[in-house]
Structure 1
Amino acid sequence: MHPSSSHEDRLLFSTQHELQQVLRWWWIISLMALLGALGGWIIHALKPPVYEAQAVFSAAIDYTQTGLMTQFEQDQALNAVGHLIASGEVLERVVAKSQAEGMSLTVADLRRMGSVERQVDAFILRLRATDAQQAAYLANLWASEANAVLTDAQAHALQAAHLARYLQSLESCLQRSLIVPPAPALCYQQSPTELQTLITETAQQLQVERQASRNLFSGLLIQWTEEATPPAQPTQFGRNDLILASALIGLLAGIVLVELLPPFRRATS
């Protein structure tokens, strides 16, 4: 017989033997998995309860202002809302307000406790805390500061859109005045030099307004649609993952148990 064939036979026999070992003591392995899952459930039950409150913002695009937009452009416009809600500027304002009321919170704490999730055209601000009232209070404080920043940014976005149209009309006037002097009446009888000065000033104002708009644009319609309320029950955050992980650990422990301990191996010899 070829040496390699003998080696393959021994390997096959060993594999079959180990499989029989596992199948024979399946109830031990299943019991260990159940005990592991029970242990994960107990560990989660012993942890302090966590309550989750949520506030909701809605965002839509006014296509009468924007015209046709690609899916990428729509996502980019809407995602700017979520980025602003979760921005450091908003979190710093929340921390300042909470510290003024005697709460010892930091920006890092808020990032750990909260999150902003987009669902189509809605942005859900979730905040978790060990106290239901505190969770709702902080969620609404966060939403209130985010709403103030969004409102301010939206006003600057509208002003930027107005200045952009005005700048375009000035540039058009300048072009026409250079081609067929004097400029038409729409240019208010201004000289090319005056138009150039006005264009420069308007462009500078436009740059300022665009920065103040924080990447929002005038075609966005944003509204704080749902305030947070104190949750009645604690969230099961992480419970299923913990139970599953504990069950897998128990399963592996059961396999090792029946494979290595002498009492089980002698029973199948």
Structure 2
Amino acid sequence: MSDRPPAPEPLPHPVVDNHCHLDIARGDGPALPVGEALAAASAVGVTRIVQIGCDLPGARWAVEAAATYDAIVAGVALHPNEAPRLPDLDAAMAEIEALAASGPHVRAVGETGLDTFRTGADGAAVQEESFRRHIDLAKRLDKTLVIHDRDAHDDVLRVIDSEGVPERWVMHCFSGDAGFARACLDRGAHLSFAGTVTFKNAGYLRDALAITPRDRLLVETDAPYLTPTPHRGRTNASYLVPLTMRAMAEVRGDDLGELCAAVDANTEVAFGGTWG
């Protein structure tokens, strides 16, 4: 891992990286072998990972990884930017449903949601249809719903209010301000914060973090993306979660060990129990 950021100081209590893409590589190197990625994460106190599949190949990979490694559970879905590109949404959703129902190692339906940054108006209707169908699937299978929301806060709330949400749902890589945080919390969400909360221009995220009850907080990498400061722009990985956790504790004025213990317990609640 010599071309990657160095490992930070280990955390005083284990946490879960609740949103990761172990199968995706970035330009500065191939994806780490899964065993190596898990070992590096565990060495700094990140002992479990939720592997998220965003298209059919990625969803199949996530399910296989979760079946192979005790430290991994899977989430499967069609990413909101993927859905409008598919020639047959019905067939793709049928496979996602089969994968989601394939065993207890598949804990989540996600990431699904809305994204108006990369998908234009011509794909909006299909994107919303896909989102609604994923919500229905999560409720029918009693899976955690994991929501991707980029530049679509009001529409995400509109769809959630229209469809209703399952008992457990997560706002992945929370990207709103304190007002949007309250709106999601009022609807029962867990809010997951990524490396973006460490960015200099993300004061609004830190405001949202500060008002979130401790029992609703999660942490994630979205690796290989969204690498926390001071390594922004380099490849992210689960072993860098301690940088985000320390920033979260500082923003909130929390004891780091107590916050880690809370986030670890919250992740079990949010994803339906223990594993690994």
TM-score, normalised with respect to structure 1: 0.19
Between Structure 1 and Structure 2, the one with more strand by share is 2
Structure with the bigger RCO (C-alpha within 8 Å, sep 6+) is: 1
